[in-house]
Amino acid sequence: MKQLILLDSEAVNALAHRSHPKHAKAVSQAQLIATRRTRRHEFNVAVPVSVRVEAGWDRAASEWTFANRFRIADIALDGAAVDAAARIRARTGASVTDAHLGAAIQLAAADHVTVITSDPGDMRAVASGTRIVVIPI
């Protein structure tokens, strides 16, 4: 079973920065994913590029080294994702980053999508009926 884990900007910052109050929680999730990957669970972790912008994640900057090493993929905002995000934003009034997360949820080529987020309600709204697991950070 393919499982996609999406992070919002709060989750990105929590994982990346040791001083973040939720760093321990983010590391626990990362450790669990790493352990399950060694048991052949097919987990992929990804971040929409607009979330990276909001979080200030510059892959060239040294303060992001820890997050960079985690093999977290970028999800581009192009093609069908733009259209899907625009529809979500028009329907829900969500921010651009949340709409992009919603598009990523809807277009995911995975059996199961989990979102680690500081806004569980917003994520359920932009998921637009797509079944997701929401982990509050």
Report the interface residues with another protein, using CB under 8 A.
18, 23-25, 27-35, 37-38, 40, 42, 66, 69-71, 114, 133, 135
Minimum distance between the CB of residue 68 and another protein, rounded to whole angstroms?
8
Minimum distance between the CB of residue 111 and another protein, rounded to whole angstroms?
14
Minimum distance between the CB of residue 91 and another protein, rounded to whole angstroms?
26
Judged by beta carbon, residue 62 or residue 78, the one nearer another protein is 62
Judged by beta carbon, residue 107 or residue 134, the one nearer another protein is 134
* Burial status of residue 137 (CB atoms within 10 A of its CB: 0-12, 13-18, 19 or more): buried
Q: How far is CA 54 from CA 23, 33, 51, 102, 111, in A?
A: 18, 24, 5, 16, 27
Judged by beta carbon, residue 37 or residue 87, the one nearer another protein is 37
